[in-house]
A and B are shown apart, each in its own frame.
Chain A
Amino acid sequence: MAVSQLIGAAIRRREDPELITGTGGFVDDLPQIGLVHMFVVRSTEPHARILGIDTARAREADGVLAVFTGKELAPEFQSPLPVTVSFVPEKKYPPQYPIATDKVHYVGEPVALVLASSRAAAEDAAERIDIRYESLPPVVDIEKAIAPGAPILHDELGSNLAYDVKRAGGDIEAAFKEADVKISQRIRQQRLIPVAVEPRGVVAEYKPFAKSLTVWSSTQIPHFVKVWLGVILGIPESQVRVVAPDVGGGFGSKIHVYPEEVLAAVASRRLNRPVKWIEVRQENMTATTHGRAQIWDVEIAAKKDGTVLGVRATQYLDLGAYCSQFGTFQAIALLLIQGPYKLRAWDGRGVGVYTNKTPTDAYRGAGRPEATYIIERVMDLVAQATGVDPAEVRRKNFIRKEEQPFTSLMGLTYDSGDYTTTLDKALEMVSYQQLRKDQAEKRKQGRHVGIGFSTYLEICGLGPSVVTTAAAGIAFWGMAVLNLHFTGKATLVIGSSPHGQGHETPFAQIVAETLGLPLDDIDVVHGDTAIGPMGMDTYGSRSASVDGTAVYLSAVKVREKARKIAAHLLEAAEEDVVYENGKAYVKGSPTKALTIQEITGAAFQPHRLPAGMEGGLDETTFFNPPNFVWPFGAHIAVVEIDAETGRVQIQRYVAVDDCGTRLNPLIVDGQIHGGIAQGIGQALFEDGVYGEDGQLKTGTLVDYLIPTAPDLPRFELESLVTPSPTNPLGVKGIGEAGTIASSVAVINAVVDALQPFGVKDVDMPASPDRVWHLMHKNGGRKR
């Protein structure tokens, strides 16, 4: 393969040989000697005071080394778990400690720890712990939580209201005054449970004489965990090492510092033994954060030709029992509702509410699927109300390519985009006109086919430091260290920490192409804070554009230094030296070239270097992107609903995505497949349901349905490439785009299929019983 073709080549992942042979290393697979197993005793009550915990019988059980209650461990914590600004600096939130002391606020909250010689011994002993609770009335419903007289979760806050904020731009009154069509709609985003197939797990080892702590965790954010373990436990950050080994999926559910990471570390410090905690699935369903959990009230102002003038909406966000670390990140939706459209006004209100449920946090897309869901439902509601075709409504409202870069009503600058072309391409793929004719024909036969669109716009690539600090309270950056060894082999250490994405392969491709090194000569290292640079880890589709750019810039710096060394060795002026395909030569004399391996050898022989130059070929880049990146695309779902059962079958799913330069199309397409599947899961199957008693009713994979292979169609993918001007590679992000797009494409298709029944909206998941009831609302009569 020619070197110039490496970026953009569909190269198989170098991560895979270990994973397909069962020789990888997830946390539970790592060999450890002298481990103590930790079992976390969790609250069975959604809202209660802890009156007493009797641990005497558990302490006497076989194999038990220690039992700790929250009260016993409380002095260990010098800080509560972190909470970030995440778009809502105005919020009120209670301190959340890793383990409850006096009161529990959700089913699954840690209340005691058992440390024993085996997992089974710990679990057996836990059954001998007697906890006396005084039950308090649980707060479950978002609206009832903020109604007068509701029981209060956190007395110190005075109510269950975390925040009530405005985010608006443009003249909304004028928009509604000018409107021919006004539509109101309540839209629900059900609570989702992320279900990474690997539950979480932690091994912590505190070494008392070295005073150092090492933690292996199934996390997306080893660097954040390192910082916060230091803060919470009073250990200098430099003595904390966090390793994210192979991580079996995250989807946002592993992007925060979790109680168990702290608890395992504390237990290790107390016992002077390495401590292991492995989450089991039923535990995971309440102990790991949930996502979405929102109600939206939406009002739309439009003209009868389909022009959308303005949108006013309130997002009620169920934060669960505490404000999780990025718990209000989903409020980013209030900044993004505009999508790829030229709205004149947006009037948003965000209300955050505490309830006695598992805390919510980022879940694949985190606020962006919700924003897309709202504006894409808006487009279809307007189409339905005006009789204008939904594709036409979108086309009419799109920001045009020549209007880029475009500044949104909320002051964000879209970097590039060509929304019409992606839509046209998708329409062509489904033969849209013919498809509509077929739909009409089938309707006559009593069959219910629906066509749904989602022309999404996504923000990702966290982020420009000044903007993210103002909005999210965190400065972000990308980081990469590239070291060349004596023999010209390279080690690339990256600041992001993958959990299934496959960073190693495309990042090696960037270095190989830039330096002309053989791909296999580049080793990529990540996920170990003792080795890695001060990275910012992996979430929000940021790695390719931010850390990928840092990788590229490090390789460029190495190349430029190599060129200087070559000029010196070739006794030529630097500007006369050409570097290409791993060789440097004086212009016009390509036969007398020095290879990068020869140049690297010289770099480690100081006497061969230009005067004043330091030896070695090691370059570090700390990249602060000037803007976000803005991927976009057009997805179309075609569904048919079984009239007898209400079951939705996806017949075709077409996706045209533009994520700028595609570093490795194999990986890009894989991300899109998985993303679409996850959004379809929300649209049709998944529902985290709590009873009025505050108990999770969908606490196993028997009740909480994630998509299986026969539930999904074969996705038909096409791509366009509009390079991002934000970074030199022209890269955007693709990790979440599929999920952002697909839920609403499917729901729009379901609503379209149900047009004969006068249906305007369907709550997710559009399960057979829900759809059947909509079809039989009027005794089965069509409108």
Chain B
Amino acid sequence: MRHRVAMTINGTQYEHEVEPRTLLVYYIREQAGLTGTHIGCDTSNCGACTVEMDGHGVKSCTVFAVQADGAQITTIEGLAHGSQLHPLQQAFWDEHGLQCGFCTPGMILAAKQLLARNPNPTEQEIRLGIEGNLCRCTGYQNIVKAIQTAARTMAVPAGKEVQAPAAVS
């Protein structure tokens, strides 16, 4: 039996029939064709599949596509405006916060959530905030640095109206 699901991914409306067992990550990758979200494990440990669903970070291998019916999803492809990178993307590039890049989309989405909750985190808060995302290449050092850099870039001078990070996507 197949179910019809509709969701908005990065501002675009998608609608497909899915098997009830279809995981959101496979829907995003194979039906919506957005392959920036990766799959690195099958136990929700690695976080490579992290996306935003209705403003919350989720590991999209742990959500059924049918559960995302009607949801607003943001994936890595939705962060940049044309060639204008999101401050986190820019910081990961500037600080060499990636090597093979496979975990990076999920890591950036996790960092975006972290900064939305805590715009000025300490190093330890950053390390704890990305605990659910595994990187085997960087030893996390430059990822932490990139998130610190992005936090500084994203901080808006006092008195100016602060845009919620979600608006960037």
Residues of A within 8 A of B (CB): 12-13, 15-26, 28-29, 120, 195-199, 246-249, 251, 280-282, 499-502, 666-667, 669-670, 673-678, 700-702, 706-710, 712, 714-715, 738
Residue-wise interface mask of B (106-148) relative to A, using a CB-CB cutoff of 8 A (1 in contact, 0 not) = 0010000000000000011011101111111111111110000
Q: Does B166 contact A (CB under 8 A)?
A: no
Closest to A248 in B: B102
Is there an interface contact between B96 and A246, defined as CB atoms closer than 8 Å? no
Given contacts A16-B101, A26-B102, A248-B101, A674 and B137 within 8 Å (CB-CB): yes
> Is B27 an interface position by the 8 A CB rule?
no
Contact of A17 among B45, B46, B75, B93 (CB under 8 A): B93
Between A25, A669, A677, A700, the greatest number of chain B beta carbons within 10 A of the residue's beta carbon is seen for: A677
Which of chain A's residues have a CB closer than 8 A to the CB of B6?
Answer: none
Q: Are B142's CB and A197's CB within 8 A?
A: no
Contact present for B85 and A21 (CB under 8 Å):
yes
B127 to A195, Cβ gap below 8 A?
no
**In the assembled complex, which residues on chain A have CB atoms less than 8 Å from the CB atom of B59?**
none
Find chain B residues with CB under 8 A from A251 CB: 136
B43, B77, B99: the one within 8 Å of A702 (CB): B43
Q: B134–A197 contact, CB under 8 A?
A: yes
A20-B108 contact given A710-B131, A714-B123, CB 8 Å threshold: yes
- Contact at B96–A500, with CB atoms within 8 Å? no
Q: Does B165 contact A (CB under 8 A)?
A: no
Residues of B within 8 A of A16 (CB): 92-93, 98, 101
A264 to B2, CA, bound (A): 30
Are A12 and B94 within 8 A (Cβ)? yes
A178 vs chain B, min Cβ distance (A): 43
12 pairs across A/B with beta carbons < 8 Å? Answer: A20-B101, A21-B79, A23-B36, A28-B35, A196-B136, A197-B135, A246-B102, A280-B39, A281-B43, A677-B138, A702-B45, A710-B131
Chain B residues with CB under 8 A of A678? 136, 139
Q: Which residues of B have CB within 8 Å of A195?
A: 136
Q: Does B168 contact A (CB under 8 A)?
A: no
Q: Does any Cβ of A come within 8 Å of B34's Cβ? A: yes
Q: Which residues of B does A touch, CB under 8 Å?
A: 19, 21, 29, 34-43, 45-46, 48, 75-77, 79-80, 85, 89, 92-94, 96, 98-105, 108, 123-124, 126-128, 130-144
Interface contact A281-B41, CB-CB below 8 Å? yes
* Chain A residues whose C-beta falls within 8 Å of the C-beta of B135 in the assembled complex: 197, 709
Cα(A677)–Cα(B39), bound, Å:
22
B78 nearest CB neighbor, chain A only = A22
In the bound complex, do residue A196 and residue B100 qualify as a contact, i.e. CB atoms below 8 Å apart?
A: yes
Specify which chain A residues have a CB less than 8 angstroms from the CB of B134 in the assembled complex: 197, 701, 706, 708
Nearest 6 Cβ contacts at the A-B interface: A22-B36, A500-B100, A19-B101, A248-B102, A677-B139, A22-B76
List the B residue with the shortest CB-CB distance to A671: B99
Hey, which chain A residues are within 8 Å of B34, CB to CB? 22
Interface centre among A12, A195, A673 (most CB of B within 10 A): A673
CA distance A708 to B126 in the complex (A): 12
| Contact A21/B100 with A281-B42, A715-B141 known, Cβ cut-off 8 Å | no
Residues of B with C-beta under 8 A to A246? 100-102
Check A12/B99 contact, CB under 8 A, given A714-B141, A715-B141. no
Question: How far is A702 from B35 in the complex, measured between Cα atoms in Å?
Answer: 25
The answer, among A28, A248, A675, A738, for a CB contact under 8 Å with B100, is: A248
With A19-B101, A20-B89, A197-B48: A500-B94 Cβ-Cβ less than 8 Å: no
Candidates A28, A702, A709; contact of B127 at CB < 8 Å: A709
Q: Residue on B with the closest CB to A17?
A: B93
Q: Assess whether A706 is in contact with B43, with CB atoms less than 8 Å apart.
A: no
- Contact between B102 and A676, CB atoms less than 8 A apart: no
In the complex, the answer to whether A709 meets B131 with C-beta atoms within 8 Å is: yes
- A709 and B35 in contact (CB under 8 A), knowing A282-B42, A670-B99? no
Q: Is there contact, CB below 8 Å, between B43 and A710?
A: no
- Select from chain A the residue with minimum beta-carbon distance to B132: A708
A28 to B25, CA, bound (A): 13
Instruction: Tell whether A502 pairs with B99 under 8 Å between CB atoms, given A249-B136, A677-B140.
Output: yes
> Would you call A199 and B99 a contact (CB within 8 A)?
no
A364: nearest residue on chain B (CB-CB)?
Answer: B136
A12 cross-chain contacts in B, Cβ below 8 A: 93-94, 96
